[in-house]
Structure formats: C-alpha cells, structure tokens
Amino acid sequence: MQNNYCVIMAGGVGSRFWPLSKSTKPKQFLDIMGVGKTFIQLTYERMKSICPDENFLIVTNKIYKGLVLEQLPMLKEDQVLLEPMRRNTAPCIAYANYEIQKRCKNANIIVSPADHVILDQEEFVRVIKSGLDIVSKRDVLLTLGIKPCRPDTGYGYIQMEKDSSEKELFKVRTFTEKPNLEVAKFFFESGEFFWNSGIFLWSLNSINKAFEEHLPEVFNLFNNREADVSEGDFVDKTYSACPNISIDYGVMEKAKNVYVYKSDFGWSDLGTWGSLYENSRKDDQGNALICKDALIYESKNCIVNIPGEKLLVAQGLDGFIIVDSGESLLICKKEEEQRIRQFVNDIQLKKGEKYI
C-alpha cells in the first residue's frame, strides 16, 4: 500500500453543467447529485482504502488550489499540483509522474478523473487492487473498461482482443472516440467493446517508458529541469511548451502493451445533465427532483435542480432540464442539451464573465 499513489485529475471547467458549474467553481467541487459530498470528495473516499493520504496528488488549475484544500483538508499543499494553463490529460499525467518520481521510484499509480460516479464501491476497490497487483508485476498500461449496458454515443469505446487466457484481462485492439448511434449499436451487439472509463493503472516505470517512446517532447520537458530554475517557473515554462494532447491519443493508442480490465461496478461519467438524470432516483412520472421543495403537475421525464430555499411549481412539461443557481436559471429540453455549451458561449459574448 505504501507504493500505491492516486492521481486525481480535477482541472476541468464542466461547462455542460452550467449554470451550477462555473469557471470559479466547476462541477468537481459541487454536490450536484445532492448527496452531501462533492465529486472530488467522493473520488477521494473511494480511493482512501487503497492509498495512504500522503500518496494522493490532485492535479488542478492554479485558481482551484483553495477549493481543493478546503474540500480535502487531509492533504498538504505540496499534494496539490497547480497547472498554469489547460493542456489536456497527457501533460497533466506527466506532471504527476514528475512529482511521484521524487517521492517513490517504485510507485504503482491510479489515475482517475474527479467527477465519476461509482455505485458498487466494494467491487470497484476489488478491481483497483487486482489491477495494481497486475501492474506491479508486469510492464503493462492498464485501463478499466466498463461492460456496456446500452449503445451509448456519449462514451469512447475500447475493443479487446478475443483470445485471452485470463478472465478479466484483455489486450487492447483499438480505441474509438464517441461513435454515432449506428456504430454504437454495432459495438454493443458485438460483445467485443467496452466503454472507456478514463481510469488508468500503471507503474511509474511503465508509464515513463511509454512517454519517452510515444510522447518524447512531453517526457523531455519534464525531465530536463535546469538546476537554477525555481519550481514555479519550471512548471510554467514546461506547460507553455507542452502540446495540448490527451493521454489516449498521445500514448494509449500507440503503445503495444495496453490492456483493458473488464469491469462492472456501476460506473458513469457524469458529463451532462442528461447523464445525471439517468443516474438519479425518479418519481412515478420519471421526474428526477434534486431539490427540497417542488410541486410538479402533469409533467414527466424532467430533471430539476433547485436551491433548498426555493419552491418550484411546474406544470405541463415533458423532458426538460430546469436548473437554478441562484443568479441564473436554465430551462432547456433534455434532447437539446448539447446546446448548453453554445448558450455559455453566447452568455460570455453578450453578458460578460459574471454568469459563467
């Protein structure tokens, strides 16, 4: 356990959860599900039986340092790695590797986004412990693949090699970005594809070798620090020179030693109000009410998120998102929620930064 490290990626803006998620306090720091804990707190709690507190690293934008330390007070300041700008997941992970190298050269690492939902905690911990055992003994890059329960166009997919002597571990054949519905149906029916959870496990040695081979420009930037450069200046300079590239595209799709661990622990990447609706308790009319006080008449299939001090009365609605942040109110058809990003862009242009 002392060699187990957990890297939580918590730098995103989460604009699809507007108006609750804003640039000053994005979704990973919010209790959007109404369970009394934020996404980042839930992520820490499901990992704390696997990694000691001192082995957690949170990679986030520098403007969120205070939020991280406020919500995870058991962590020290040097466990919060501050990105000066957004450069996607590959530089984020390279930065974490650079810091872990100073602490433990034999580390085994879990990399997880801060905003996922895991319903079966016990099974999740079993899978992670089993995966850590694998990466501690073998030079492999492991990703957790989720057994799909429907043809979903909102997730990336991983195709496994059919022949495997192991029950849960398969060599990866291909990665595919979010497909259209027809392709998603084919993937689902074939039985050869998993949803890409974005949760990774590897040893520090294995991921460093993969960076050196497949993303040498990023690897070299983090491993050629000049002795007289301060830590802050080094990170700023390194990030400004890094390409904006994901770990999937930069490493995982190129490496030959990538395996997928077949998993089924009630996973969801809560990226949209629609996905939150799918994972929320509903009334007998299919309404998900994340609020304390609401009267709903002749309405069905809606998701409602209203502050506790407000009463909502709604009538005659079918399939709507209704979200009140206090200063902004969103009313939008669920089937049109992909337009929320457009709404946010329009607000920024026409109303300024106040509301986003």
Beta bridge partners of 180: none
Q: What are the domain boundaries of the chain?
A: 4-269, 276-351
Contacts of residue 65, Cβ cutoff 8 Å, sequence gap at least 6: 77, 80, 82
3-class DSSP assignment, residue 105: coil
Predicted pLDDT of residue 165: 60
Residue range 297-307, pLDDT digits in tens: 999 999 999 98
Q: Residue 104 in contact with residue 249, Cβ under 8 Å? A: no
What torsion, rounded to 10 degrees, do the Cα atoms 64, 249, 100, 239 define? Answer: -50
- Whether the full predicted model's pTM is greater than 0.85, yes or no, is yes
Q: How confident is the prediction along the chain (356 residues), in pLDDT tens digits per residue?
A: 799 999 999 998 888 899 999 999 999 999 988 889 999 999 999 999 999 999 999 999 999 999 999 999 999 999 999 999 999 999 999 999 999 999 999 999 999 999 999 999 999 999 999 999 999 999 999 999 998 988 888 889 999 987 666 788 999 999 998 889 999 999 999 989 999 999 999 999 999 999 999 999 999 999 988 877 888 899 999 999 999 999 999 999 999 999 999 999 999 888 889 989 988 999 999 999 998 889 999 999 999 999 878 999 999 999 999 999 989 999 999 999 989 999 999 999 999 999 99
Residue range 214-242, pLDDT digits in tens: 999 999 999 988 877 888 899 999 999 99
Select from 328, 271, 242 the least CA-distant residue to 156. 271
Alpha-carbon 245 to chain mean position: 16
Predicted pLDDT of residue 162: 77
Site of tokens 């420009």: 217
Contacts of residue 174, Cβ cutoff 8 Å, sequence gap at least 6: 158, 159
The CATH code of domain 4-269 reads 3.90.550.10
Characterize the bridge pairing of strands 157-160 and 169-176.
Answer: antiparallel
**Biggest alpha carbon–alpha carbon distance for the chain:** 69
DSSP string, 149-169: SS--SSS-EEEEPS--SSSSE
